[in-house]
Chain A
Amino acid sequence: MGWQLIRGYALLVYVFMFLPVAVVVLLSFNASQFGSFPITGVSLRWFGELAQNEAILRAFRTSIILGLLTALISTTLGVLASLALVRYRVPGENVISTLLIAPILVPEVVLAVALLLFLNFLGINKSFGLLLFGHVIFTLPFVILVVQARLMAIRRDVEEAAMSLGASPVQTFFQITLPLMLPAVLAGALFAFTISFDDITGTLFWKPGGVETVPTQIFAMLRNSISPEINALGTVMIVMTVGLPLLGAAVARILSRKSGT
């Protein structure tokens, strides 16, 4: 009896989480001119309009380039730091860990203001570079947390076995450690890309005038009213942000199966 109640309650929580998102997807196929009910027919028209909207396409390009560069830099820094924390006994490890995740603990608005004003003081104005710095700094802690958790699962004796069989440290790193680490590296990169792609709080402070990322473009479009295009864009974003991690998880699973862990 009690369990049934909890199950029903949990089901309602799931409905609460998914219903608004489902409605966005549903309305994106609505033939009506207004981005709202009633549904007058099924149409792909809004996706077609989306593909021809220059501003949105430009925002997509900006977001993707920014996300890729952020993922590249953040993952490189994050993997190196995680290796140090997992593989070595570092004095003051707790303090270092706390310092490394500090960007999560500082409210993003405050981080955004501090970085904007400091770099401006140094003569770096709002620019793509500032945007990139900002995205790297708030994705880094997440990359470190994810990569660290994955690295801990890799057994060290495999590397020791390779070395005792005559492999050099460099050979061991490239032939044993790196392939074993690949799923962790990919997970970190994917996480960084997704967080960067989705960010709006910091981005609105850092972006130069005239440059829009996908979230800031959506935000600007919301000023008027919900157009059917926003729902279509939402559907594309949902497919991207949900599909990519799922794909990533699948790839990571296949890779880790191949490397036999």
Chain B
Amino acid sequence: MSIEARERRQPWILLSPALTAITLLLFVPLLFIVVYSFWLRTATGADQSGFFLDNWREALSDPFYRDILLFTLKIAAITTLVCAVMGYPAAYFIARSRGNKAVLLLLLMLPFWISYIIRTMSWINILGVSGALNTLLLWAGVISEPIQMLYNQTTVILGLVHFLLPFMILNVFVSLDGIDVSLEDAATSLGATRWQAFVQVTLPLSLPGLAAGGLLCFVLAAGTYITPLVLGGPTDAMFANLVYEAIITQLNWPLGSALSLMLLAVLGLLVMIYNRYLGMAQLMKGLG
């Protein structure tokens, strides 16, 4: 074999284990559940293979599923918005700080490494009936009885924001850090106020980072089912909880497949729109 042919083959040999793993463990299974979603779970509990539209009819027309899908998208949207409002100024502070940026960033990334389930349940210690806040309010005499603050929509959003904020800050930071500070100085020297310089120069340049962070927050929030179980009430189930119910509790796997694909389609559409306008490179910058 010629040297060039070997050179050409080598990268494929290196890539093949990873590509094989992803094909067999992700792409083929995804295709499989597309097929599976047209099967039927019969009353006996066995699957009948074939081409039935029953699961899709149920998933798409039952208002129960539609309402929970809309509720999920609403929770994800609010979470993303709160992350942006909280995260942008913090990222701006780190990027423009004259102190040690690496330490400031590392400090913010620490919670990112702390277990998701621990961070989620830690809010029970703060907001629970005998949590920090109730104890403090009782002690100060503001209230005479502990208040139930947990297990509602707000605490679900709170838990999600706490989990996802580092993703937002990191992405915005990467974007802000790449902007030349002298651009803002140039704007002010030409007569713009600091605020004008920010709104007209820095903010537009940092939008790709904000969009990347927003996409990550939204997709991760919309796919969660642990946070609503730990911090939500009985009516706060999100779409992934339905998938879990169908697959693990009811063992209706064809219906569960259809529901999973519905979630994938909605979130996949968002990723595609993002990719069309901004490209995947920005997203990888923030992840790497």
Report A's interface with B, CB cutoff 8 A.
Answer: 2, 6-7, 9-10, 13-14, 16-21, 23-24, 27, 34-38, 76-78, 80-81, 83-85, 87-88, 90, 94, 96-111, 113-119, 121, 133-134, 136-137, 140, 142, 144-146, 148-149, 194, 197-198, 200-201, 204-205, 214-215, 218-219, 222, 226, 230-231, 234, 237-238, 241-242, 245
Contacts and interface: CB of A to CB of B under 8 A. Distances in A.
Contacts of A90: 11-12, 15
A27 B121 CA distance: 13
Contacts of B131: 36-37
Interface string B216-243: 0001001111100110000000001001
Contact of B25 (A105, A136, A144): A136
Q: Interface residues of B toward A: which range?
A: 35 or more
A177 to B, nearest CB: 13
Contact of A218 (B19, B118, B257): B118
Contacts of A242: 110, 113-114
A119 B253 CA distance: 13
B29 A37 contact: no
What is the interface of chain A mostly: helix, strand, loop, or mixed?
Answer: helix
B260 interface: yes
B117 interface: yes
A148 B33 contact: no
B117 A200 contact: yes
A17 B162 contact: yes
Contacts of B45: none
A20 B122 contact: yes
A140 B18 CA distance: 8
Given A21-B119, A215-B115, 5 more contacts: A98-B280, A107-B264, A110-B243, A114-B260, A201-B224
A98 B114 CA distance: 28
Given A103-B22, A205-B247, A117 B14 contact: no
15 contacts: A13-B90, A16-B86, A17-B162, A21-B114, A21-B122, A37-B132, A80-B14, A84-B12, A101-B287, A106-B268, A117-B257, A148-B288, A200-B117, A218-B118, A234-B118
Contacts of A133: 25
A24 to B, nearest CB: 5
A106 B248 CA distance: 20
Contacts of B144: none
B222 A107 contact: yes
A60 to B, nearest CB: 13
A219 to B, nearest CB: 6
Contacts of A84: 10-12, 14-15
Nearest 3 Cβ contacts at the A-B interface: A107-B223, A118-B29, A20-B122
Contacts of A119: 29
A107 B240 contact: yes
Contacts of A37: 130-132, 135
A121 B32 contact: yes
A249 to B, nearest CB: 9
Contacts of B207: none
B147 interface: no
A198 B223 contact: no
A85 B284 CA distance: 14
Contact of A114 (B30, B162, B194): B30
Contact of B267 (A13, A35, A107, A116): A107
B22 A9 contact: no
B151 interface: no
Nearest to A120: B253
